[in-house]
């Protein structure tokens, strides 16, 4: 499949996640096999572009791989300007957010709330596609709720307006992240579309990845929450799809090494104080679900690490913790 000049063979893509897919995490996922990593969403509100938060989201300094930036908003002209602004700052692909279920996003009629207004969807896509020379992609859900699934209609609009790749999360906005993702709608969208379709939702293992590809005939996969604390999932999925064999989970020594690299990159990117605080959730994700000697010990460690405010202590405690664990991962 192609997205503009970028060619992929059934790519495994990191989904955009607010507060997660920052530059350090994207670089790590590229390093461990992701074919494409999409940034946290960048607002189309120009007045916010100079805030520290947005400036960090706009930063691509030292970034590996293709730079795909997701933009969010409701006004076609503002989104077009945001697309031009991000391309000028290094974006090689622009992704439009019509999938976020967060209330603060939907309350201003952005994200997945846009799925309720199909004419506006067309206006937004056309404005953004016309504004930039780089390829434009779109991320959606299956619809607003179970009674208004309109992913097929949105896909037709997207294709007609020049979208070059469509990612579909197998839940409605009303579902948020509850229950299980469904793939029937994604299969219908793929069957009816000429543009690449990427399947997203609950793809948590290499085996599940193959099942979803077989059921939907999708051109690629998008991984979100399953990559939190397990950036190896990209390499694991790609190896399984290519060889039909599972690769061994990383030993604790490798996990510790990768986590320490991740932490150091967070400190460098955000500064020590903010980096340490942002690192806490990542440490929790790395620990979660691992086979350890004592679950209570993990809970106690999490509480302890969340009280640490300096990088050296955080690194030391993480290293000590993994050195004491049984060198294996949960199946």
Reported as a single tens digit per residue, the pLDDT across 189-217 is 999 999 999 999 999 999 999 999 999 99
Query: Where residue 181 falls among pLDDT bands split at 50, 70, 90?
Result: very high
Residues of the chain by 3-state class (helix, strand, coil), percent to 5: 50, 15, 40
**pLDDT attached to residue 293:** 53
Structural domains of the chain, with CATH: 2-243 (3.20.20.70), 252-323 (1.10.1200)
For residue 101, give the 3-state DSSP assignment: coil
Q: For residue 280, give the nearest of 310, 235, 251 by alpha carbon.
A: 310
DSSP E strands, the chain: 2-3, 6-7, 12-14, 36-38, 42-43, 67-72, 93-98, 136-141, 165-169, 197-200, 220-223
Is 258:231 a contact under the CB 8 Å cutoff? yes
Average pLDDT over residues 266-292: 88
Classify residue 251 by its DSSP letter: P
Residue 287 has pLDDT above 90, yes or no: no
List pLDDT tens digits, range 106-150.
Answer: 555 567 789 889 999 999 999 999 999 999 999 999 998 888 899
Q: Over the Cα atoms of the chain, what is R_g? A: 20
Positions marked active-site: 100
pLDDT reading at 229 higher than 80: yes
State both tokens at 318.
Answer: 């993480």
Which residues, other chains included, contact 82 with Cβ-Cβ below 8 Å and sequence gap of 6+? 42, 43, 44, 46, 71, 73
Bridge partners (DSSP) of residue 139 are 97, 167
Burial class for 248, CB neighbours closer than 10 Å (0-12, 13-18, 19+): exposed
Enclosing H/E stretch for 82: helix 76-88
Give, in order, the Cα–Cα distances in Å from 75 to each of 127, 172, 208.
10, 22, 37
Percentage of residues in the chain with pLDDT exceeding 90? 73
In this predicted structure, what is the pLDDT of residue 108?
Answer: 56
Q: How far apart are CA 53 and CA 328, in angstroms?
A: 37
- In this predicted structure, which of 25-39, 45-59, 101-115, 298-312 has the lowest mean pLDDT? 101-115
Beta bridge partners of 141: 169
Q: What is the pTM of this model?
A: 0.92
What's the first-to-final CA gap in the chain, in angstroms? 32
Quick one: pLDDT at residue 162? 98
CB-CB contact of 208 with 202 (8 Å): yes
At residue 105 the predicted structure's pLDDT band, cuts being 50, 70 and 90, is low
Q: Using CA atoms in the order 5, 7, 12, 14, what is the torsion angle rounded to 10 degrees?
A: -10
At 57, list the tokens: 């989201």
Structure tokens at 208: 């599940």
Place of tokens 């896909």: 155
The pLDDT-based confidence of 328 (bands split at 50, 70, 90) is very low
Q: What is the pLDDT of residue 289?
A: 58
**Tokens for 225?**
């929450």
Q: Count the alpha carbons within 13 Å of 1 in the hemisphere toward its beta carbon.
A: 21
Compute CA distances 144 → 147, 252, 288, whole Å.
8, 42, 32
HSE-up (13 A, CA, CB side) for residue 319: 12
């Amino acid at each position: 499949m192609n997205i503009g000049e970028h060619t992929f063979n059934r790519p495994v893509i990191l989904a955009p996640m607010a507060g997660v897919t920052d530059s350090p995490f994207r670089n790590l996922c590229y390093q461990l096999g992701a074919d494409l990593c999409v940034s946290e969403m960048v607002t189309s509100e120009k007045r916010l572009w100079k805030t520290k938060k947005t400036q960090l989201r706009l930063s691509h300094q030292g970034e590996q791989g293709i730079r795909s930036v997701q933009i969010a908003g409701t006004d076609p002209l503002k989104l077009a300007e945001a697309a031009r602004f991000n391309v000028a700052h290094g974006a090689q692909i622009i992704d439009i957010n019509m999938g976020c279920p967060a209330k603060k996003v939907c309350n201003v009629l952005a994200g997945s709330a846009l799925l309720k207004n199909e004419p506006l969807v067309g206006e937004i896509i056309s404005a953004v596609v016309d504004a930039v020379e780089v390829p434009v992609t779109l991320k959606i859900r299956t619809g607003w709720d179970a009674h208004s699934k309109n992913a097929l209609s949105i896909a037709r609009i997207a294709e007609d307006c020049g979208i070059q790749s469509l990612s579909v999360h197998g839940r409605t906005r009303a579902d948020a992240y509850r229950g299980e993702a469904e793939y029937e709608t994604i299969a219908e969208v793929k069957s009816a579309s000429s543009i690449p379709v990427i399947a997203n939702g609950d793809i948590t293992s290499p085996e599940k990845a193959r099942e979803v590809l077989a059921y939907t005939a999708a051109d690629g996969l998008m991984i979100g929450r399953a990559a939190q604390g397990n950036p190896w999932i990209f390499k694991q999925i790609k190896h399984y799809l290519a060889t039909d064999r599972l690769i061994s989970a990383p030993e604790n020594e490798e996990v510790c090494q990768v986590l320490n690299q991740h932490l150091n990159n967070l400190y460098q990117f955000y500064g020590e104080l903010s980096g340490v605080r942002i690192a806490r959730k990542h440490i929790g994700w790395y620990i979660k679900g691992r086979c350890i000697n004592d679950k209570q010990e993990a809970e106690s460690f999490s509480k302890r690490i969340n009280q640490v405010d300096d990088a050296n202590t955080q690194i030391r405690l993480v290293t000590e913790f993994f050195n004491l664990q049984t060198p294996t991962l949960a199946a």
